[in-house]
Amino acid sequence: MAGALVLAFAATLIAGCRDMPAENYVEVNGRLFVFNYRNAIATYLVTLAKLRPLPEGAEFDAAFENPAGGPPLTKRQTIWPALDKITVESPPIQCVVADRPYQVTIRILDGNGEELQRVETTLVSNTDQSVLPDRPLVVGPFYDPNPELAGHPDGKLPQGNDIACPAR
């Protein structure tokens, strides 16, 4: 009787192991919107912590929901093997609305472009992109005040930033 019980327990363990997913390579360690007031741009920023070594030539391929509408914004970049964290930053974005979730999908690829892992997450900003100035506050290598903003110390121009955002 005891032998049958041990055998049944072992069979359950083996069956359970068969359905377990392969160990992940990365996990989301942080995510936020970056509002760069000086340069008048916003970006997505997702950090991934490596859980185990990645193969040589590994890359990430990220797709960021475009707050201005249209197709997702994408970025593909090599992952440096010596670093423990992977920083995934989007191209500049427009039209971020507070308290709205935005989708980000990051695929970890091996050196041949085969998908090793897919990470899907959402980011929610606690502020609206309207806090940014309409143009960069400074220009050039010496951070000269932007002449387009002369007479507008808050960075807001009467005509706005010339970007048509979708209706909220």
Q: What is the pLDDT of residue 118?
A: 98
Say which residue the tokens 């997913």 belong to.
Answer: 21
Task: Output the domain CATH number for residue 110.
Answer: 2.60.40.10
pLDDT computed for residue 19 by the predictor? 45
Tell me if 159 is assigned to some domain: no
Task: List pLDDT tens digits, range 33-44.
Answer: 999 999 999 999
Residue 118: beta bridge partners?
107
- The residues with which 106 forms a beta bridge, in sequence order, are 62, 119
Residue 164 inside a domain? The answer is no
Residues whose CB is less than 8 angstroms from the CB of residue 116 and which lie 6 or more positions away in sequence, other chains included: 25, 54, 55, 58, 108, 109, 110
Are the beta carbons of 50 and 25 closer than 8 angstroms?
A: yes
pLDDT digits (tens, 9 = 90+) for 106-142: 999 999 999 999 999 999 999 999 999 999 999 999 9
Give the per-residue pLDDT at 134.
94
In a domain, 65, yes or no: yes
43 φ/ψ angles, rounded to the nearest 5 degrees: -145, 160
**Residue 89's beta-bridge partner residues?**
45
Find the helix or strand (DSSP H, E) in which 46 lies.
Answer: strand 41-50
User: Residue 131 falls within a domain, yes or no?
Assistant: yes
C-alpha to C-alpha distance for 91 and 143, rounded to whole angstroms: 22
Residue 121 inside a domain? The answer is yes
Domain count of the fold of the chain: 1
d(CA 52, CA 166): 41
Residue 30 lies in a domain: yes
Spans of the chain, pLDDT less than 50? 4-13, 15-20
Residues 6 or more apart from 144 whose CB is under 8 A from it?
138
Establish if 2 belongs to a structural domain.
no
Q: Please give the structure tokens belonging to residue 137.
A: 């506050």
Range of the domain at 133: 23-146
Share of the chain above pLDDT 70, in %: 86
